Amino acid sequence: MRTFTGPHTLYSFVMRQKRAGKRIGLVPTMGYLHEGHLSLIKKAHIDTDCVIVSIFVNPIQFGQGEDLAAYPRNIARDKKLAKIAGADAVFIPSAESMYPPDYSVYVTERNLSKRWCGEHRQGHFTGVCTVVLRLFSVCAPDCAYFGQKDIQQALIIQKMAIDLFLPVSVVLCPIIREHDGLAMSSRNVYLSPSERLDALVLYKALTHAVARFKEGIFSAGQLTGEMNAVIQTASSARIEYIACVDGKTLEPVETLSSGCRILLAVRIGTTRLIDNILL
């Protein structure tokens, strides 16, 4: 497995692979890899001939007062896990190489990003779109892999690729969960033992809603109210939003049907967690 820190040397490597007829798969990450990330790498390894994993804690997608400085990092561990999962190269750029002092181009999506995490984390998705477009430019992937835990992010990236005529297929992969249902996230490491137990209310609320939907309860208002009650049983939980949305546009719906999604963001103590489920 090759390690690259500079965009120009990585681009030269990618062009050599393409001249040899190889398809490139990209898995963008912020590091501190877990089984969710590894499932993306394994999928890319099946689909493509050369898998690149980027490891970059992107400063411009963090807002004021967020956890940029505290975000967990362990590059040596990440490289070992990426190699085992099937990565052919890792790209570990510096912030200076991604955003030189004269950098001035940013990418903003205006529809999918206007609600939910976009409303609560101002500027977040501009930072995400900008870094992903930079990675697409350097890595020239045929396919790029994103997990559905961050479904709003994944759909925004998919829309960016379509609207900008980017020659990349954005592949959305299933949420990977712990044995007790908690969606895997690098931020789970922040949780204390008691908070880790409280965090289970996210998945409990989502599965409660699915069960009620199957019983014939289609009212978004009723289901969000019941989910709110489930989450409030955890003393450390503070709800940021619960949303019943169209599965493609992420616009809110009043009456649920198959293909809709339920999204939620909840703070457990100081840790912000997100999750969702498809009906």
- Give 146-193 pLDDT, tens digit per residue: 999 999 999 999 999 999 999 999 999 999 999 999 999 999 999 999
Residue type, 72: P
Percentage of the chain exceeding pLDDT 90: 99
Active site includes 124?
Answer: no
Sign of CA dihedral 14, 15, 20, 21: positive
Which of 37, 45, 124, 208 is labelled catalytic? 37
What is the reported pTM? 0.97
Region of 176 on the Ramachandran plot (φ > 0 left; ψ -120 to 50 alpha; else beta): beta
What distance in Å separates the CA atoms of residue 217 and residue 90, rounded to the nearest whole number? Answer: 47
- pLDDT class for 10, splitting at 50, 70, 90? very high
pLDDT of residue 246: 98
What distance in Å separates the CA atoms of residue 192 and residue 183, rounded to the nearest whole number? Answer: 16
175 touches 157 (CB < 8 A): no
- Give 223-234 pLDDT, tens digit per residue: 999 999 999 999
Burial class (CB in 10 A: 0-12, 13-18, 19+), 187: middle
SS3 category, 54: strand
- Give 46-90 pLDDT, tens digit per residue: 999 999 999 999 999 999 889 999 999 999 999 999 999 999 999
What distance in Å separates the CA atoms of residue 38 and residue 179, rounded to the nearest whole number? Answer: 16
Domains of the chain plus CATH, in order, are 2-173 (3.40.50.620), 186-274 (3.30.1300.10)
